[in-house]
Homo-oligomer: A and B are copies of this chain.
Amino acid sequence: MNKVPQTLKGFRDFLPDVMVIRNYVKNILVEVFENFGFEPLETPTLEYSSTLMGKYGEEADKLVYSFTDNGGRQIGLRYDLTVPTAKVLAIYNQQIPLPFKRYQIQPVWRADNTQKGRYREVIQCDIDTFGSSSPITDAEIIAVIDSVLQKLNFQKFSIRINSRSVLYQILDSAGITDNQKSVLQTLDKYSKVGQGGVTKELKEKGLSAPTIITLLDCIRKAQPDSYLSQVFDLIKGFGVSESSFIFDPTIFRGLDYYTGPIFETYVEKPKIGSITGGGRYDNLISLLGGPNIPAVGTTIGLDRIVDCIMELNLLPNLPKTKTKVLVANFGPDTLDESIRLVSFLRNKSIPSSIYPDAEKLGKQFKYASDKDIPFVAVIGPDEVEKNLVTLKNMSTGDQKTISQKDLLVQLV
């Protein structure tokens, strides 16, 4: 006997009970995205490595799954949805009217350490607006995040907003000119490790105590710049509650391509990291050889959202299956009628299955019960003779023998 294969570490198979939850979340995302005027786009799984590399930062570049294909091309798996779409804008900008608002829901891959409980394949749900430098577009992204989380029944979340310009202003004021990125990476941990943790790490990175004190003071005094102030006003204009978002001068976001406002969303529980991340990136398309097209957007992480929803019990009462009726298989004598019945139900758009084997009825009922199929319809010789169907309601146990017409009334 062969050895049973394994699924790769960091990758997952999704059985129907989990798919029901993932599809519920995905459908809400699509609904909100389209309600806000975003349109669908998809890009390939594989890209030239040269397209992907040098956009995210050195650390991230190492996490790109890359290899040489049979034709000798250096290629890699999609690491995010932002760079591939920026590529689309660089290539097809002549045929895309601007502003262009697109959503994209596709998996991305990261050859990351799985010991932190991270997945190597996750589904990102991105919205981005290309072709406008108006703060309306930044604010609208925040409004979408808020709408998505409200629709998913999240009670406590915080969209933290900062700007790269605020961060560099803080560094300037504190007189920090060396290793700026490294300092900001430490600062980014503020909400997790607090002032003590940040101080300790900055000391290890060689900053003097007075510099650190000045830096922390600058952070306390930091204010949104004028662009960010407009964004804040507009977010309120879109009807987002002030309890949903906050200015946080410590957040940095690792990726290299951001140029202006940056945003992340956190939930209090579970401790899971950010569930959204995004910002403005006005130079990425020209970096890819395209024209100057400003851009702003966010990723919403489907997998973390699903993990949160399950942990926080935010799910509505979703049926485990869409199948409404199992037509039992009573054996060859009544099979024709049973097949006609299942076809009749399907023609009426009532999702139905027929049990393929003439097993004992008890086994067939147990199968319906295991699969949470709400009704079982049986046609035995008695039913055939009278042209009736016996319908069992699996949750109440009620059973009645009725005409096909009455059956429809019960099911619709």
- Interface residues of chain A, those whose CB is within 8 Å of chain B, are 1-8, 11-16, 19-20, 22-23, 34-37, 39-48, 50-51, 65, 67-70, 73, 75, 77, 84, 87-88, 90-92, 95-97, 99, 101-102, 107, 109, 111, 120-121, 129, 132-134, 136-137, 140, 143, 147, 234, 237-239, 286-290, 321-323, 326, 329, 335-336, 339-340, 343, 346-347, 349-357, 367, 370-371
Q: How many copies of this chain?
A: 2
Asked if A6 and B351 make an inter-chain contact with CB atoms under 8 angstroms apart, the answer reads no
Asked if A15 and B96 make an inter-chain contact with CB atoms under 8 angstroms apart, the answer reads yes
In the complex, chain B residues whose CB is within 8 Å of the CB of A19: 39-42
Asked if B45 and A45 make an inter-chain contact with CB atoms under 8 angstroms apart, the answer reads yes
Give CA–CA (A80, B290) in the complex, Å.
36
Asked if A288 and B339 make an inter-chain contact with CB atoms under 8 angstroms apart, the answer reads no
In the complex, chain B residues whose CB is within 8 Å of the CB of A129: 356
**Which of A11, A42, A97, A129 has the most C-beta atoms of chain B within 10 angstroms of its own C-beta?**
A42
In the complex, chain B residues whose CB is within 8 Å of the CB of A120: 46
In the complex, chain B residues whose CB is within 8 Å of the CB of A238: 339, 343
Give CA–CA (A99, B286) in the complex, Å.
54
Asked if B67 and A67 make an inter-chain contact with CB atoms under 8 angstroms apart, the answer reads yes
Asked if A45 and B107 make an inter-chain contact with CB atoms under 8 angstroms apart, the answer reads yes
Which of B5, B287, B340, B371 has a CB less than 8 Å from the CB of A288? B5
Besides A1-B289, A7-B87, 7 other A-B contacts (C-beta < 8 A): A2-B288, A3-B289, A8-B46, A19-B39, A67-B67, A132-B356, A136-B335
Which of B4, B111, B323 has a CB less than 8 Å from the CB of A91? B4
CB distance from A364 to the nearest CB of B (A): 11
Asked if B45 and A16 make an inter-chain contact with CB atoms under 8 angstroms apart, the answer reads no
Asked if B101 and A353 make an inter-chain contact with CB atoms under 8 angstroms apart, the answer reads yes
Give CA–CA (A367, B351) in the complex, Å.
42
In the complex, chain B residues whose CB is within 8 Å of the CB of A92: 13, 15
Q: 19 pairs across A/B with beta carbons < 8 Å?
A: A2-B286, A5-B91, A8-B48, A13-B84, A13-B92, A14-B42, A15-B41, A15-B88, A19-B39, A35-B349, A36-B352, A45-B45, A99-B367, A129-B356, A132-B356, A133-B357, A136-B335, A237-B340, A239-B343
Given contacts A237-B339, A322-B39, contact A47 B91 (CB under 8 A): no
Asked if A97 and B367 make an inter-chain contact with CB atoms under 8 angstroms apart, the answer reads yes
Report the nearest B residue to A65, measured CB to CB.
B69
Which of B37, B99, B288 has a CB less than 8 Å from the CB of A4? B288
Task: List the 4 shortest-distance A-B pairs measured between CB atoms, nearest first.
Answer: A37-B353, A67-B67, A11-B44, A16-B39
Given contacts A8-B44, A45-B45, A287-B2, contact A102 B16 (CB under 8 A): yes
